[in-house]
Amino acid sequence: MPRPNKLSGPYWEGAKEHELRVVSCSACGHKFLPAADRCPKCLSKDLEWVKVSGRGKVWSWVVFHQRYFAAFEADIPYNVAYVELDEGPRLMTNLVDCAPSDIRCDMAVEVVFDDVTAEISLPKFKPAEHPSRKPS
């Protein structure tokens, strides 16, 4: 279970409200995750959290067929994917509503929120119903 801290707190607060947020640099416009106290591109500390569309595409993924982590044994086979958001940042997540054999690079996806506790909602992604762009 994630443990929000001072840096990641706004990300998890957004997720709880079913809003996907990334850090945006006010100096150069770069948007990124995970949160940091400086822009990784220009080192500015002038940063703000912004809501993003929740749309993106699968950048890479794996499917776990063996038990490496006891907590996920019941979920086998499960996927772990990198999704590249339309706004640029990539985040590690799980794809839902999609058979492992149907996952493809560049497939359009959109965020859904899995309310796992009263405090924590996990951003996950499902195949997009209305893709914002075609796979390249």
The answer to the question of residue 28 lying near Zn ion (CB under 5 A) is yes
The answer to the question of residue 52 lying near Zn ion (CB under 5 A) is no
Q: How far is the CB of 133 from Zn ion (least distance, A)?
A: 25
Burial of 66 (0-12, 13-18, 19+ CB in 10 A): exposed
Question: Quick one: 28 or 76, whose CB is closer to Zn ion?
Answer: 28
Q: Which of 10, 3, 19 is nearest to 113 (CA)?
A: 19
Dihedral, 93, 94, 98, 101 alpha carbons, nearest 10: 100
Dig out the tokens for 25 from the structure: 């640099």
The answer to the question of residue 30 lying near Zn ion (CB under 5 A) is yes
- Residue 69-88 contact track with Zn ion, rule CB under 5 A, x = bound: --------------------
The answer to the question of residue 41 lying near Zn ion (CB under 5 A) is yes
Question: Quick one: 39 or 91, whose CB is closer to Zn ion?
Answer: 39
d(CA 122, CA 18): 9
Q: For residue 14, give the H/E element and its range.
A: helix 9-16
Which part of the chain contacts Zn ion (CB under 5 A), choosing from 8-16, 21-29, 56-64, 85-93? 21-29
Q: How far is the CB of 38 from Zn ion (least distance, A)?
A: 8
The answer to the question of residue 27 lying near Zn ion (CB under 5 A) is yes
